[in-house]
Amino acid sequence: DTEVTQTPKHLVMGMTNKKSLKCEQHMGHRAMYWYKQKAKKPPELMFVYSYEKLSINESVPSRFSPECPNSSLLNLHLHALQPEDSALYLCASSQPGLAKNIQYFGAGTRLSVL
């Protein structure tokens, strides 16, 4: 099983809403990532968890709050987002410590903020 599952696939929310994106993998990977991708642009790294600890936070606004409850799950809590936060949010996982650290990506959650 090389699948990374993201839910929901699509999300529309208002600027005052609170919502969460979920990501799950059962490959035994101990690194999980959140990326943001705007249209026609490459993914931008937001957060990396390694062994359930936040290891990279690329100066993301506090309205995005990651959570890694266990080694298989990664959440992204959203609160008071802006319309410019509308994007595709991708989750990935990998096994840290390997020289060739292949990241496996989920299908993404397409977020629209109204």
Partner 1 sequence: KNEVEQSPQNLTAQEGEFITINCSYSVGISALHWLQQHPGGGIVSLFMLSSGKKKHGRLIATINIQEKHSSLHITASHPRDSAVYICAALLAYNNNDMRFGAGTRLTVKP
User: Which amino acid makes up residue 36?
Assistant: K
Position among 27, 60, 80, 107 found at the interface with partner 1 (CB under 8 A): 107
Least separation in angstroms between residue 16's CB and partner 1 is 26
**Checking phi first, is residue 52 left (phi over 0); if not, alpha (psi -120 to 50) or beta?**
left
For residues 71 and 30, the answer to whether their CB atoms sit within 8 Å is: yes
Which of 61, 97 has the CB closer to partner 1?
97
Which one-letter DSSP state was computed for residue 80?
S
Q: Is 39 in the site for partner 1 (CB under 8 A)?
A: no
Instruction: Tell me the per-residue interface mask from 54 to 93 with partner 1, x by CB under 8 A, - otherwise.
Output: -xx-------------------------------x-x-x-
Task: Give the tokens for residue 52.
Answer: 């359930």
